[in-house]
Chain A
Amino acid sequence: MNHAANTETVNATENSFESAKDPVKESSQEITMVEAVNLAMAYEMRMDENVVILGEDVGTNGGVFRATDGLKAEFGLRRVMDTPLAETLIAGITVGMASQGLRPIAEIQFMGFIFATMEHIICHAARLRNRTRGRLSCPMVLRAPFGGGIHAPEHHSESTEAIFAHTAGLRVVVPSSPVRAYGLLLAAIRDPDPVIFLEPKRIYRISKQTIEDNGEALPLDVCFTLREGQDITLISWGAMILETLQAANQLTESGHSVEVIDVATISPLDIDTILSSVKKTGRCVIIHEAAKNCGVGAEISAQISERALLSLQAPIKRVTGYDTIMPYFRNEKYYMPSTKDIVKAAMETLHYE
């Protein structure tokens, strides 16, 4: 993906973001991120009969977050399947279906229960193409809501995307808005290789955007530059984009020109967009909810150090979760990076001599 194409997409996204400027079109609607997920799956199921959905409670109940609401009613039992309660099984049959050319979308109810899928994802989904030298492939999507901040019970709040990012042969995609959820999920379903699609549930319903249900995908493997600036680059993904944009607003008010990058596909990483931004600003802060140790921020930081060290005017900073177990929800707010933390790190970076 060349840089020019990337910028074009960004503009398209930004336009839909500021929908108020456009006359509202017939098929466009104001929807939340979880509705956008639903819309993308429905669109692709209408277009491609190979697309099927499976998981726990995805049928009549429409998923515990309602991401598959109404899909069983429209597409029937054969294409929207409530599986037995068994994540290993869900991942395994998804690999099998995909190997035969179906395009299964499997839902894991919460990312905390994704670990039982790992053998199939790492030992098979990620490798089927490589192992058979291209004879078989695995065009599947594994969706899971993830992240903290909704006062959920244990195992319902972690951000463990780095575990998948560490595995070759997978794509790991995290949307951060209704528009990007719609476009990226369509791309993920159409992608010929396995995609781990992680949905930050804290922002499932936090805001609405106007989406035109036209089946237009957004590109995978590219970062989205949400805001252009000259003084500092803030890099994040998923729910933390919310705090990152808030921080960018505050920094702008105090006279700084801030560039904000939504990584979106955290593996494989679009380092080009990040490098050209950091080369321009010379300063950067990476923000993620996941633990710092071996987080995706470490990889981004290492690549910047390897390839743009001499452009840096300040050390790279990371604002992340702590290297602890996510506390039960009474104290989870202390774990999550805040807007204040981001502003503070950015100010230190901006004022570094």
Chain B
Amino acid sequence: MSNEGRNPELRAQFDINYYQFLDNQGTLKNSLPTYLEDDKLQVALYRQMVLTRLLDAKCIALQRTGKMGTYPSTLGQEAVGVGIGYAMTKQDVFAPYYRDMATQLIRGVKIKDILLCWGGDERGNQSEQTPFDLPCCVPIATQVTHAAGIASAIKIRHEKHAVVSTLGDGATSRGDFAESINLAGAWQLPLVVVINNNQWAISVPREVQTAAQTLAQKGIAGEVRCEQVDGCDVLAVYDAVKRALAHAYEGKGPTLIEAITYRLCDHTTADDATRYSPSDGLKKGWEKEPIKRYRSFLHSKKLWDEHKETALFEQCEQQINTAVQEYLDTEPQPPEAMFDYLYEELPRSLKEQRQQLIDKTREAQP
């Protein structure tokens, strides 16, 4: 049956905007707002993206040589993490997922801590530099609900800062995400949710996750301000998050940002993307990658040259190698450490088990 001749009233209509400053070649497509015309900031964004990429390569090398565990690469997605990290203030709270090393580094997490985490040591999450940020979250999309809770706490206490949470494209299929977005709209929470749409959830392509034209529009049902940005354009990401945070600080409510990227790597070091991913996707992905285009942009502005590039690489390598050495030199926790943070105070019944483990370890030593 068609709806012909029924004359409905128009009740709502929606648009999704896409933001980009730099095209794939690094040419400025739209003029920058004045606050982005900041040479120091522009160079800092570049340096951080390079550090992220070099550290990423090191992490993969460590995993391949048995010195670290499974690791999710950020290759090709550096602009998302760096844009978010620079847009946030110290007071804001970050609720990351597992592919967020770039932002965590800017927040103050040490390289050594990142390595400890993926090297199978809880102390990597101890990070004193980020007292209220949540640690890297593995159960998909659950962090978004916690972020909504943090945003609620901020609102209850009449505080002025905001929360940023991240997730992948696949993660937007989970109820945790939809429920949080709904709440954020209903309660007008100071929450910014950024989707790193890298086109894949392990082997499942974005089109298989949802029939929706954009992931950004998933905010519409909850009356959440939403937009798409070029996630390989660090200036666009920075600007989108900055605007979203300003909106939140003013008490105007949440924003959902879909950052379009491409995963230029396997899902993790445990994955083999050649099983499912056609190589032309990867080729197109490389054309958009964030660092090369941004370097061209800085070159054109005379903010960067080969000299600086060489110096930066050397500096990053040194910083990374020092941290790697610190990581490799870190003694494992004693076995009984597994008991030490279960509760504020260890219950009596567990003290006995803890002692048994200590005795057993001692016996095993010659």
Which A residues form the contact surface with B (CB < 8 A)? 56-57, 59-62, 64, 82, 84-89, 112-113, 116, 151-156, 292, 322-325, 327-332, 334-335, 341
Pick the most buried of A60, A62, A156, A292: most chain B CB atoms within 10 A of its CB.
Answer: A60
Chain B, range 189-229, C-beta contacts under 8 Å to A: 201-204, 208-210
A151's partner among B69, B140, B332, B357 (CB-CB below 8 A) is B69
B residues whose Cβ falls under 8 Å from a Cβ of A: 69-70, 98, 117-122, 138-140, 170-171, 173-175, 201-204, 208-210, 270-271, 275-276, 332-333, 335, 337-339, 342, 349-350, 353, 357, 360-361
A81 to B339: give the CA distance in the assembly, Å: 42
Q: Which residues of A contact B275 (CB under 8 A)?
A: 60-62
Of B98, B209, B353, the residue contacting A322 (CB under 8 A) is: B353
State whether A329 touches B69 (Cβ < 8 A).
yes
Q: How far is the CB of A114 from chain B (nearest CB, A)?
A: 11
Per a CB cutoff under 8 Å, which of A84, A152, A331 touches B337?
Answer: A331
Q: Which 8 A-B pairs have the closest CB atoms?
A: A61-B203, A329-B120, A84-B173, A334-B335, A330-B120, A85-B170, A328-B120, A324-B338
Minimum CB–CB distance for A294 against chain B, Å: 13
User: When the two chains form their complex, are residues B357 and A60 in contact, meaning their CB atoms are under 8 A apart?
Assistant: no
Given contacts A84-B173, A155-B139, A329-B69, contact A323 B120 (CB under 8 A): no
Chain A residue with minimal CB distance to B330? Answer: A330
CA–CA, A116 and B174, complex, Å: 10
Q: Is the CB of A56 within 8 A of B120?
A: no
Q: Is the CB of B202 within 8 A of A61?
A: yes
Q: A59-B203, A61-B275, A152-B70 are in contact. Are A327 and B122 (CB under 8 A)?
A: yes
Please state if B204 and A56 are interface contacts (CB–CB under 8 Å): yes
Q: Which residue on chain A has the smallest CB distance to residue B364?
A: A340
Q: Is the CB of A154 within 8 A of B138?
A: yes
A152 pairs with B174, CB closer than 8 A: no
Smallest Cβ distance from B51 to chain A, in angstroms?
A: 23
Contact A57 B338 (CB under 8 A): no
Q: Complex: how many Å from CA A29 to CA B288?
A: 48
Knowing A82-B204, A85-B209, A155-B139, say if A331 contacts B171 (CB, 8 Å). no
Bound Cα distance A30, B3 (Å): 62
5 new A-B pairs (CB below 8 Å) besides A61-B203, A85-B201, A324-B342? Answer: A61-B202, A84-B170, A85-B140, A153-B120, A292-B353
Bound state CA distance, A113 and B276, in angstroms? 23
With the chains together, A84 CA to B206 CA distance in Å? 9
A57 lies within 8 A of B203 (CB)? yes
Contact status B139-A112, CB under 8 Å: yes
Contact A151 B120 (CB under 8 A): yes
Give A113 to B203 CA distance when docked, in angstroms.
18
The answer to whether B120 and A85 have CB atoms under 8 Å apart is no
Bound together, the chains give a CA A331 to CA B350 distance in angstroms of 18
List, sorted by A's number, 29 A–B pairs whose CB atoms are closer than 8 Å. Answer: A57-B204, A61-B202, A61-B275, A64-B270, A82-B203, A85-B171, A85-B173, A85-B201, A152-B70, A153-B98, A153-B138, A154-B138, A292-B353, A322-B338, A322-B339, A323-B350, A323-B353, A324-B342, A324-B350, A327-B338, A328-B117, A328-B120, A330-B120, A331-B120, A331-B332, A331-B333, A331-B335, A334-B335, A334-B357
| Chain A residue at smallest Cβ distance from B270 | A64
Chain A contacts for B361, CB-based, 8 A: 334
Considering the complex, give the chain B residue whose CB is closest to the CB of A155: B138
> Given A85-B170, A151-B69: A330 and B121 within 8 A (CB)?
yes
Which single residue of chain B is at the shortest CB-CB distance from A324?
A: B338
Query: Roughly how many angstroms separate A86 CA and B210 CA in the complex, as a whole number?
Result: 12
In the complex, chain A residues whose CB is within 8 Å of the CB of B276: 60-61
User: What is the minimal beta-carbon distance from A36 to any residue of chain B, in angstroms?
Assistant: 21
Residues of B within 8 A of A84 (CB): 170, 173, 204, 208-210
Residues on A with C-beta less than 8 A from B271 are 64
* Residue of A113, A156, A322, A325 with most partner-chain B CB within 10 A: A322
A7 to B171 CA separation, bound complex (whole angstroms): 48
A154 CB contacts on chain B under 8 angstroms: 138
Are A324 and B339 neighbours in the complex by a CB distance under 8 Å? Answer: yes
CB distance from A35 to the nearest CB of B (A): 17
Q: Which residue among A56, A61, A62, A335 has the maximum number of chain B CB atoms within 10 Å of its CB?
A: A61
A56 near B69: Cβ-Cβ < 8 Å: no
